[in-house]
Chain A
């Protein structure tokens, strides 16, 4: 630019003045504050009011948290210490309850000598999630852990013979074998039916006998733990993780079904989604806790936690389906046509073209649903399961801690916040990582 100008413009400055540092009022904290907090009188008023509010809240919370009593075995003991130290009982936390009960809030009534099992299950969960969440950094061999986890985790938590999860796995193996053998002989539809029927027959009629036979030969077993001993944050995590893990695939299929051309399939999916979304989760949980037994043959013992997990999963899946449908609707028609024109069949184009994009669009909604599901697990306290909130009631029922609220809720809130905030941050980093469209 300057080259061409030099010939045509009469006066051109030939020495460039050195750049000067900006005046102090434009840099540093003062400059920043002036630009962002006090740029107009209205802005200044807002800033002052906000600061006053923050100061007011913190001046209450910080002394409550830190001028507190840790060493006490009951609420009344706490109060005595508070009066002795600060002269009043107001504005001081009594963390003694957390010190005494924090393990119970984490594990419920799980036998303390077996705490290692849920901890191992949690550790394995992280290993199993790693190749899914960080696909490009973690070797894909770890996916074996992911595949085995659904079988190992229940065994670790509930205990019992090792043959039970192995029999379940064997069912899947048999189904797959039936499918591959028959698909060459009787065509794919028959093979699919056989692949579904064989494992069902196996689980219902054969696996029990085989398992007990094997167990009598090789009695490998963990000490079993009853479902009613489950509780605390472990129970929330268990219900949350299973519901989150299952609701995404179910939601995908429901969303595809709702957009399908097959009339009956579509009607079923729409009916399911609208029914579940139209009913409060608590109602479904009551159905799980009481009504389901009516439909079961008498004498069957259908585990209460399992029933609750199924209900929460179905509930989450209905919402998930709508979130994903939103993502599908946002994709331009050209993507379908592009995939079709290359000869990809329906499932290939869904898997390779449509879903990766639709899911990416729906990440914020999906993660919101996940977070919602995780927090909704606290509703199971209403049907008598001892999740952290249920436990806090149980703890208050103890004469020593009668009347203590804030400390328990604060502890539970922190636990939930850590997990939910983690999910939220992960979704943001994932969105960033998957941004390839450069729009």
Chain B
């Protein structure tokens, strides 16, 4: 909810939206029993976009983003990720998951493995990369998130912010083309929020396609090229950040913004 988490200039030179399509979602619907969680979701994501998804609790943000990584299923409509149609075919699912990285609110690191092993596991087993190369890649990304010296510790020995950065590095080791974030900072203290956001900004500066569910409106203003507002399972409004914050169209968006920005 803070506005001041990023205190440096964001370098926008590499942030270019191409007209290549990364994700298309077409009239997607999902139910939990009789509860209609996602209603007629239509969304096209171009490569290089940084999209922030906001909305009140229970509006279906997590469900939507988890569907893109096939952690959930949908009942109606069509979703294509990186040219692959998401169905219940296991081959497709594994392919998409190894192309799409995901970071969770509670990090979901593997506590029985060291930081380095956390990062090399999937490259070795899924990508079948030789161990030596996987270790090099892992160290590269751990350096990038600024914790190479913790490589041989276990997740339980790290602070929350460090754990979340490890989680980001772990996803990056799979060389994903799209990164999904589900409230990556909402389990963290303010000081740690900043370090995680910094990492995410750097990622954006390198041109990564990102979809972030977050309440960090500072991040949305400075990094996102599009903000999506969801309520009750629908995309209610989407716009560029400036327009979205200064000139919201929908009543529900106005209410949400006034609550979250505290005025």
A residues adjacent to B (C-beta < 8 A): 332, 334-335, 337-345, 348, 352-353, 356-357, 360, 434, 436-439
**Are A334 and B111 also in contact (CB < 8 A) when A343-B98, A352-B121 are?**
no
List 13 other contacts, CB 8 Å, given A341-B97, A342-B171, A348-B126: A335-B108, A337-B104, A340-B69, A341-B100, A341-B102, A341-B104, A342-B174, A343-B94, A343-B97, A343-B122, A343-B174, A352-B121, A357-B110
The minimal Cβ–Cβ distance linking B121 to chain A, given in whole angstroms, is: 6
Residues of A near B154 (CB, < 8 A) are: 436-438
B157-A337 in contact (CB<8A): no
The minimal Cβ–Cβ distance linking A376 to chain B, given in whole angstroms, is: 32
Q: Which of B70, B98, B110, B174 contacts A335 (CB 8 A)?
A: B110
Interface of A is mostly: helix
The minimal Cβ–Cβ distance linking B71 to chain A, given in whole angstroms, is: 6
> Can you report 24 A-B residue pairs in the complex whose CB atoms are below 8 A from each other?
A335-B108, A337-B104, A338-B108, A340-B69, A341-B69, A341-B97, A341-B101, A341-B171, A342-B126, A343-B95, A343-B98, A343-B122, A344-B121, A344-B126, A345-B90, A348-B125, A436-B111, A436-B112, A436-B154, A436-B156, A437-B111, A437-B154, A438-B156, A439-B156
B94-A338 in contact (CB<8A): no
Q: Which of B107, B125, B171 contacts A344 (CB 8 A)?
A: B125
Does B254 interact with chain A (Cβ within 8 Å)?
A: no
Q: Which of A332, A339, A352, A438 contacts B157 (CB 8 A)?
A: A438
* Distance A353 CA – B157 CA, assembled complex (angstroms): 19
Does B196 interact with chain A (Cβ within 8 Å)?
A: no
The minimal Cβ–Cβ distance linking A438 to chain B, given in whole angstroms, is: 4
A352-B156 in contact (CB<8A): no
Annotate B101-119 by CB proximity to A: 1 below 8 A, 0 otherwise: 1101011111110000000
The minimal Cβ–Cβ distance linking B150 to chain A, given in whole angstroms, is: 13
* Distance A92 CA – B172 CA, assembled complex (angstroms): 74
* Distance A339 CA – B69 CA, assembled complex (angstroms): 12
| Chain B interface residue count, Cβ-Cβ cutoff 8 angstroms | 29
Does B61 interact with chain A (Cβ within 8 Å)?
A: no
Residues of B near A334 (CB, < 8 A) are: 104, 106-108
The minimal Cβ–Cβ distance linking B123 to chain A, given in whole angstroms, is: 9
Does B74 interact with chain A (Cβ within 8 Å)?
A: no
* Distance A376 CA – B121 CA, assembled complex (angstroms): 41
B window 63-97: CB within 8 A of A: 69-71, 90, 94-95, 97
* Distance A107 CA – B108 CA, assembled complex (angstroms): 53
B156-A344 in contact (CB<8A): no
B111-A338 in contact (CB<8A): no
* Distance A438 CA – B69 CA, assembled complex (angstroms): 30
Cβ-closest 10 pairs across A and B: A338-B108, A343-B98, A438-B156, A342-B122, A343-B97, A334-B108, A341-B102, A436-B154, A343-B126, A437-B111
Does B50 interact with chain A (Cβ within 8 Å)?
A: no
Does B30 interact with chain A (Cβ within 8 Å)?
A: no
Nearest to B69 among chain A residues (CB) is A341
A340-B125 in contact (CB<8A): no
Residues of A near B215 (CB, < 8 A) are: none
A338-B125 in contact (CB<8A): no
Does B47 interact with chain A (Cβ within 8 Å)?
A: no
The minimal Cβ–Cβ distance linking B104 to chain A, given in whole angstroms, is: 6
* Distance A348 CA – B126 CA, assembled complex (angstroms): 9
The minimal Cβ–Cβ distance linking A341 to chain B, given in whole angstroms, is: 4
Nearest to B99 among chain A residues (CB) is A343
* Distance A342 CA – B71 CA, assembled complex (angstroms): 11
* Distance A343 CA – B97 CA, assembled complex (angstroms): 5
Nearest to B118 among chain A residues (CB) is A338
B170-A342 in contact (CB<8A): yes
* Distance A339 CA – B50 CA, assembled complex (angstroms): 25
* Distance A338 CA – B122 CA, assembled complex (angstroms): 11
Looking at A335, A338, A341, A436, which has the most chain B CB atoms within 10 Å of its CB? A341
Residues of B near A353 (CB, < 8 A) are: 110
Residues of A near B110 (CB, < 8 A) are: 335, 338-339, 353, 357
Residues of B near A356 (CB, < 8 A) are: 112
Residues of A near B71 (CB, < 8 A) are: 337, 340-341
A340-B156 in contact (CB<8A): no
B69-A345 in contact (CB<8A): no
* Distance A353 CA – B122 CA, assembled complex (angstroms): 11
B125-A352 in contact (CB<8A): yes
* Distance A340 CA – B101 CA, assembled complex (angstroms): 11
A338-B98 in contact (CB<8A): no
* Distance A55 CA – B90 CA, assembled complex (angstroms): 69
Annotate B148-185 by CB proximity to A: 1 below 8 A, 0 otherwise: 00000010110000000000001100100000000000
A345-B111 in contact (CB<8A): no
Residues of A near B171 (CB, < 8 A) are: 341-342
The minimal Cβ–Cβ distance linking B69 to chain A, given in whole angstroms, is: 6
Residues of B near A434 (CB, < 8 A) are: 112
Residues of A near B107 (CB, < 8 A) are: 334
The minimal Cβ–Cβ distance linking B204 to chain A, given in whole angstroms, is: 20
Q: Which of A338, A343, A439 contacts B109 (CB 8 A)?
A: A338
B156-A338 in contact (CB<8A): no
Residues of B near A352 (CB, < 8 A) are: 121, 125
Annotate B28-69 by CB proximity to A: 1 below 8 A, 0 otherwise: 000000000000000000000000000000000000000001
* Distance A341 CA – B71 CA, assembled complex (angstroms): 7
* Distance A356 CA – B95 CA, assembled complex (angstroms): 25
Residues of B near A437 (CB, < 8 A) are: 111-112, 154, 156
Residues of A near B125 (CB, < 8 A) are: 344, 348, 352
* Distance A256 CA – B24 CA, assembled complex (angstroms): 36
Nearest to A346 among chain B residues (CB) is B90
Q: Which of A337, A339, A341, A357 contacts B111 (CB 8 A)?
A: A357
The minimal Cβ–Cβ distance linking A360 to chain B, given in whole angstroms, is: 7
Looking at B90, B98, B107, B112, which has the most chain A CB atoms within 10 Å of its CB? B112
Nearest to B121 among chain A residues (CB) is A352
Nearest to A434 among chain B residues (CB) is B112
* Distance A105 CA – B244 CA, assembled complex (angstroms): 85
The minimal Cβ–Cβ distance linking A253 to chain B, given in whole angstroms, is: 20
Residues of A near B90 (CB, < 8 A) are: 345
**Are A342 and B97 also in contact (CB < 8 A) when A335-B108, A352-B121, A436-B112 are?**
yes
* Distance A436 CA – B112 CA, assembled complex (angstroms): 6
Residues of B near A340 (CB, < 8 A) are: 69-71, 97
